[in-house]
Structure 1
Amino acid sequence: MKSQSATLLAEVRTFRQNHPDVRYVDLIALDLAGHFYGKRYPVEMLEKVAAGSPLKLPQNAVLLGAQGGLFKIGDYCFNDGDPDANRRLVPNTLKPVSWESQPLGQMLITSDGTDAPIEFEPREVLAKMLERLHHKGIHPVVAFELEFYLFDKKLDNGLPQFARDPLSDDADDQPTLHIERLSRFSEVLDDMAQTARAQGIDITVITAEIGPGQFEINFGHSDDALRAADWAALFCRSTRGVALKHGYRASFMAKPYLQFPGSGMHVHVSLYDGAGNNMLAAHQQQPLRHAVAGCLALLPHCMPIFSPNHNAFRRLGGTVNAATRASWGFEDRDACVRIPESDPRNLRIEHRLASADANPYLVLAAILAGLEHGLEARLEPIAPLNEDRSSGTDFPVDVLDAVRAMQHQQVVRDMLGAEFVDVYCENKRQDHLAFEQEIHAREYRWFL
């Protein structure tokens, strides 16, 4: 602990020397819904926390719903006195914030690694999964890809408007993969990439996607899976801020337009042993088949994680590369689990089902749970789409059906933690009820 405190203290002091104009630092963590919560600390107080002073925030902040409110979940929130829980600073995440109007810093915090971790905190769920895999000699290497849309900063009666082409001032309303879009929006995209790199995020490829104003960002492969998920979470925060600075809205909403492709979170995962050998490539790739089968077996029971809200379910079976059944295939983007062409050293799965607004910690934990389950049970997969285009198993495409399928699946409860599963499912059930407590104009048109 003394060594860690010394390292953190050095990090804070170096930050203060390099950024003497920064007076406050946002200490942030991701809740169940995938939103950041936290506190804004004076930088001199942050130095005290780094030196070992307690850092406490309400435990129930993790339980916030999609709109930020608290739901009664078991004894949490309204029968527990709203207790504080310890958090710690995540090393190497103290970075300057460039998209605010005043000089500011931000730093990740977490309960994992404290004396009493919060069992349902997303980062802790992933940390426990990784700890178990490491004890078994399994070391994941992970890379995320995130799709998002740019919209005009102003909404039209609450509805998004197409982003305006900076060169022509016309609405970018045409679906296209043309690379010229990268040039037309280069100012904001370059700022997003540079800002992400300043946050310590390994940004690699930028792609213009099919949807109007839609783009994809790839991150580098990391042998620190927690850090890979940190990158995905932090990128969403910085990208929204940079977009507003340039007069746009950036959104990771899963399906903003019914007629255009949705936005996904694609996760590449390979597994290595302690000697650095790719475990999926061993024995004529038989472990790869087991891993794929495990992913497909648990996928129907992890849908509330992969599609965390009503809009995310709209993306399934959409116009481009969004499956409605659990499937796999080699070099096949219609599959939920794709095996990209690669040499044995880099053999990996690409899990393509999650929506871009899903919680990256939970998505990765669910994927790793599937991989572990398949390897341990030596499961065999169904036929790949390359052999049978109709191959696949059904999964829930309704919020409440998905919640029921997750809550009562014993392998998922064992892998991700029963307390987390119960809390998360009730959170999603309450979100559903809250979403239904509003009459929309369409209902009056249909039924008045």
Structure 2
Amino acid sequence: MDAVCSDLVAEVRAFRQRFPDVRYVDLISLDIPGHFYGKRYPIEMLEKVAAGSALKLPQNCVLLGTQGGLFKIGDYCFNDGDPDAPRRLVPGTLKIVNWEKQPLGQMLITSDGTEKPIVFEPREVLVQVLKRLAGKGIFPVVAFELEFYLFDRQLRDGLPQFARDSLTDDADDQPNMHIERLSRFSPVLDDMVETARAQGIDTTVITAELGPGQFEINFGHLDDGLRAADWAALFCRSTRGVAMKHNYRASFMAKPYLQHPGSGMHVHVSLYDEAGNNLLAANGQQPLRHAVAGCLELLPHCMPIFAPNHNAMRRLSGTVNVATRASWGFEDRDACLRVPESDAKNLRIEHRLAGADANPYLVLAAILVGLEQGLEAGREPIAPLNEDRNSGIDFPLEMLEAVRSMQSHEQLREGLGDEFVNVYCENKRQDHLAFLNDINAREYRWYL
């Protein structure tokens, strides 16, 4: 048994000793739309997998559409025999699930590091970007911030209802950013934070956001970008589960209400060398400007990643603190790229464009490719919003146009991988067409 297997077996045995009532563990991985898929394993079988027994799942699970269906993408899904692909356990991710009625565990799995990694697996895409950056002496430090809405658990005529106050049973009508909202919803929010911490996630600041029932929970900064994206993915799963336990529905849908702010995924990224020096702060912050320029130039071609569905595009409609063009600025929340005030050691870029329902592995991968290409090109960015409120680069606001822009961009294909870009764009194109393939009541009302 090699050292990795030995450590995994020790991890499983320690978990079984700590949680003797757990009989099953969910082995989970994120697909292209950002949903977890996987299998529920008896805890005894998990120990065998940790010791080296084969772990395989269908390769095409990664290609599932938003509603779980398979699309024909090249030879995948229908002409390839639906082959299995090897997966492995991700060390350190075996954690208790405390929002289910019965004791349960969960653990991340991935194709990275196996004999045949899946090149379009989101986690694998990020792994390859991070490896390439490390080979160039670039080491990101990353922190995610995720906004979400609480709704009543039951929909009414298919529509979400404002969350009811657990103390007064009134609809949430507190003014935005009101600190008392945190008290009124503290039972569910406290449980979300403690549950996230039980998953190993360093949760920090909690904010009552602008919309009714909208909140934001921040994570600590990590010098492991892959683990930071793991945290974001696992947080979405645990938050939904805890909300259901408290008779709420938590949603990371990007734009659940037209009249209220959408929910975003804000990603803070700084770049360091092997000695721990902040690369963005060198030479009077000139690398910062180059990195910004690269991100802005690439951003219009990454829109299917940052706004991965029809609803996410709705969020980019000029509401407060959401950019409608690729822009940047110092301490400016209207910009796609905000440079927060900080000292040289902590100088960073906050990428604010992605919707909360975007895939965190792919969002971070796209951001890092933009930063990488900007540092290498060494170009000056457009004027910041602090100097020109009209500064910005247009980006597509319709999915099919966005897919065409992404699929044809050579630098993005080089940065994220040809096969991934082909598969991802076709998945988004077909998913969007499937969404549109419905005649709703409004269409009959307008055109019948």
TM-score interval, smaller chain: over 0.9
1:403 aligns to what? 403
2:37 aligns to what? 37
Give the Å deviation of 1:167: 1.7
1:25 aligns to what? 25
Residue 345 of structure 2 corresponds to residue 345 of structure 1 = yes
1:232 aligns to what? 232
Residue 101 of structure 2 corresponds to residue 94 of structure 1 = no
Alpha-carbon separation, structure 1, partners of 2:281 and 2:420: 33
Q: Report the 3-state secondary structure (helix = DSSP H, G, I; strand = E; otherwise coil) of the residue aligned with 2:140.
A: strand
Per-residue CA distance 1:73-125 (angstroms, 9 max, x = gap):
00000000000000000000000000001000000000011111000000000
1:242 aligns to what? 242
Alpha-carbon separation, structure 1, partners of 2:24 and 2:365: 32
1:5 aligns to what? 5
**Amino acid paired to 1:86:** P
Q: Report the 3-state secondary structure (helix = DSSP H, G, I; strand = E; otherwise coil) of the residue aligned with 1:151.
A: strand
Give the Å deviation of 1:37: 0.2
Moved more, 341-350 or 319-328: 319-328
Residue 276 of structure 2 corresponds to residue 276 of structure 1 = yes
Is the contact made by 2:174 and 2:181 (CA closer than 8 Å) also made in structure 1?
A: no
**Amino acid paired to 1:17:** Q
Q: Report the 3-state secondary structure (helix = DSSP H, G, I; strand = E; otherwise coil) of the residue aligned with 2:333.
A: coil
Alpha-carbon separation, structure 2, partners of 1:114 and 1:286: 40
Detail structure 1 runs of 4+ shifted over 3 Å in the superposition. none
Alpha-carbon separation, structure 2, partners of 1:332 and 1:43: 49
Q: Report the 3-state secondary structure (helix = DSSP H, G, I; strand = E; otherwise coil) of the residue aligned with 1:446.
A: helix
Moved more, 255-264 or 175-184: 175-184
2:184 aligns to what? 184
Residue 431 of structure 2 corresponds to residue 421 of structure 1 = no
Alpha-carbon separation, structure 1, partners of 2:175 and 2:338: 24
1:390 aligns to what? 390
2:115 aligns to what? 115
Residue 334 of structure 2 corresponds to residue 331 of structure 1 = no
Residue 136 of structure 2 corresponds to residue 132 of structure 1 = no
Q: Report the 3-state secondary structure (helix = DSSP H, G, I; strand = E; otherwise coil) of the residue aligned with 1:195.
A: helix
Moved more, 430-439 or 385-394: 430-439
1:367 aligns to what? 367
Alpha-carbon separation, structure 1, partners of 2:31 and 2:162: 30
Alpha-carbon separation, structure 2, partners of 1:115 and 1:137: 26
Is the contact made by 1:174 and 1:211 (CA closer than 8 Å) also made in structure 2?
A: no
Q: How does 1:152-301 map onto structure 2 within 5 Å?
A: 152-301=152-301
Measured on the aligned residues, the alpha-carbon RMSD in Å equals 0.7
**Amino acid paired to 1:229:** A
Is the contact made by 2:140 and 2:223 (CA closer than 8 Å) also made in structure 1?
A: yes
**Amino acid paired to 1:355:** G
**Amino acid paired to 1:411:** Q
Alpha-carbon separation, structure 1, partners of 2:150 and 2:75: 41
Give the Å deviation of 1:174: 4.9
1:148 aligns to what? 148
Give the Å deviation of 1:437: 1.2
Alpha-carbon separation, structure 1, partners of 2:314 and 2:25: 37
1:440 aligns to what? 440
2:357 aligns to what? 357
Residue 66 of structure 2 corresponds to residue 46 of structure 1 = no
1:69 aligns to what? 69
Q: Report the 3-state secondary structure (helix = DSSP H, G, I; strand = E; otherwise coil) of the residue aligned with 2:338.
A: strand
Q: Report the 3-state secondary structure (helix = DSSP H, G, I; strand = E; otherwise coil) of the residue aligned with 1:393.
A: coil
Give the Å deviation of 1:318: 3.6
TM-score (norm 1): 0.99
Is the contact made by 1:143 and 1:269 (CA closer than 8 Å) also made in structure 2?
A: yes
**Amino acid paired to 1:292:** V
Give the Å deviation of 1:168: 1.5
Is the contact made by 1:87 and 1:111 (CA closer than 8 Å) also made in structure 2?
A: yes
Alpha-carbon separation, structure 2, partners of 1:387 and 1:256: 33
**Amino acid paired to 2:115:** D
**Amino acid paired to 2:185:** F
Q: Report the 3-state secondary structure (helix = DSSP H, G, I; strand = E; otherwise coil) of the residue aligned with 1:431.
A: helix
| Unaligned ranges ≥5, structure 1 | none
Is the contact made by 1:129 and 1:415 (CA closer than 8 Å) also made in structure 2?
A: yes
Is the contact made by 2:329 and 2:386 (CA closer than 8 Å) also made in structure 1?
A: yes
Is the contact made by 1:262 and 1:318 (CA closer than 8 Å) also made in structure 2?
A: no
Moved more, 313-322 or 328-337: 313-322
